[in-house]
Amino acid sequence: MSTSTSTSTTRVALVTGGSGGIGRAVVERLAADGFAVAVHYAGNQATAQALAAEIEAAGGQAIAVGGDVADEVAMAAVLDATEAAFGGIDVVVNTAGIMVLGPVATFDLADLDRMHRTNVRGAFVVAQQAARRVRPGGAIIGFSTSQTRLRHPGYAPYAASKAAVEAITLVLARELRGKDITVNAVAPGPTATPLFLDGKDEQTISTLAGLAPLERLGTPDDVAETVAFLAGPARWVNGQIIYVNGGIA
């Protein structure tokens, strides 16, 4: 379906990091729920464009939009493009993030700065733009991690960046009083994505899969289910961190 057929009754979602992993599952789920979706990418333009084309071929509405989440000018342009294509924005989901692991004592501070630029500054920029643009009745959904509770060795730099996301989420929900916009964050546990699996051997993956009482890793679809709830019917869930981890923590 062409984006030109979008109407004022169509709900519109922007998903950052939407070209792969959890982001892709979120895009596909929201499109299946009837959203017009802007698929954001930072570097993988071809993948984002292909996903948008798949959604359109299936009768949905989608565009691909690119930009650095930590660059406020680039992200303002992303939201401009989304509004121009679909007439407004109702939901912003910020799945974009990077993960670098290592112990505090030996962690490379250049890696810390790079990760926090995307995960902290990027989360703030996206939240700031969303707070200015999302229409009444909409939702802003950030991404944290269950590692803020699990506290596994090696995760301190990453968990610290996601703790910042939680702080932004909880305060912004209260700052938007009277706007009829919910602000929540999803905190996945071990989830079988390329980001999570990278650098882990089979034994480590098996151990992590066994931590949950449900005895498996999460899937991107598991997480997308929760995002869809927050993006749609969950109008009385606000200012919350939702742990999606099979009961690990």
Is there a domain that residue 121 lies in? yes
Task: Read off the pLDDT of residues 121-136 as tens digits, 9 standing for 90 and up.
Answer: 999 999 999 999 999 9
Mean pLDDT calculated for residue range 94-110: 96
Q: What pLDDT is stored for residue 43 in this prediction?
A: 87
Is there a domain that residue 163 lies in? yes
Q: What pLDDT is stored for residue 161 in this prediction?
A: 98
Cβ atoms < 10 Å from Cβ of 134: 25
Query: Which residue in the list 41, 155, 158, 243 is annotated as catalytic?
Result: 158
Query: Furthest-apart CA pair in the chain: how many Å?
Result: 55
Q: What pLDDT is stored for residue 3 in this prediction?
A: 42
What is the CATH classification number for the domain harbouring 99? 3.40.50.720
Pairing status of strand 91-94 against strand 139-143: parallel
Closest-CA residue to 150 (of 246, 239, 24): 246
Give the start-end residues of each E strand in the chain.
Answer: 12-16, 36-41, 61-66, 91-94, 139-143, 182-188, 241-244
CA 180 vs CA 77, 84, 173, 211: distances in Å: 24, 23, 10, 38
**Structure tokens that stand for 107 in this block:** 């962690």
Domains: count for the chain: 1
Mean pLDDT calculated for residue range 129-147: 97
Closest-CA residue to 144 (of 72, 234, 249): 249
Please check the confidence at residue 247 and state whether its pLDDT lies above 90. Answer: yes
- Beta bridge pairs of residue 34: none
Is there a domain that residue 225 lies in? yes
Please check the confidence at residue 246 and state whether its pLDDT lies above 50. Answer: yes
Is there a domain that residue 12 lies in? yes
Residue 200: band (very low, low, confident or very high) from pLDDT cuts 50, 70, 90 = confident
Three-class SS of residue 206? helix
Is there a domain that residue 249 lies in? no
Task: Read off the pLDDT of residues 185-195 as tens digits, 9 standing for 90 and up.
Answer: 999 998 998 77
Is there a domain that residue 93 lies in? yes
- Residue span of the structural domain in which 133 resides: 3-244
158 counts as catalytic: yes
Please check the confidence at residue 139 and state whether its pLDDT lies above 50. Answer: yes
**Structure tokens that stand for 192 in this block:** 């079988």
Mean pLDDT calculated for residue range 178-207: 90
Three-class SS of residue 45? helix
Phi/psi at 117 (nearest 5 deg)?
A: -60, -45
Please check the confidence at residue 7 and state whether its pLDDT lies above 50. Answer: no
Is there a domain that residue 16 lies in? yes
Please check the confidence at residue 197 and state whether its pLDDT lies above 90. Answer: no
Please check the confidence at residue 88 and state whether its pLDDT lies above 70. Answer: yes
Please check the confidence at residue 6 and state whether its pLDDT lies above 70. Answer: no
Closest-CA residue to 15 (of 29, 31, 26): 26
Please state the pTM of the whole predicted model. 0.93
Is there a domain that residue 205 lies in? yes
Q: Nearest-5° angle of CA 206, CA 212, CA 214?
A: 100
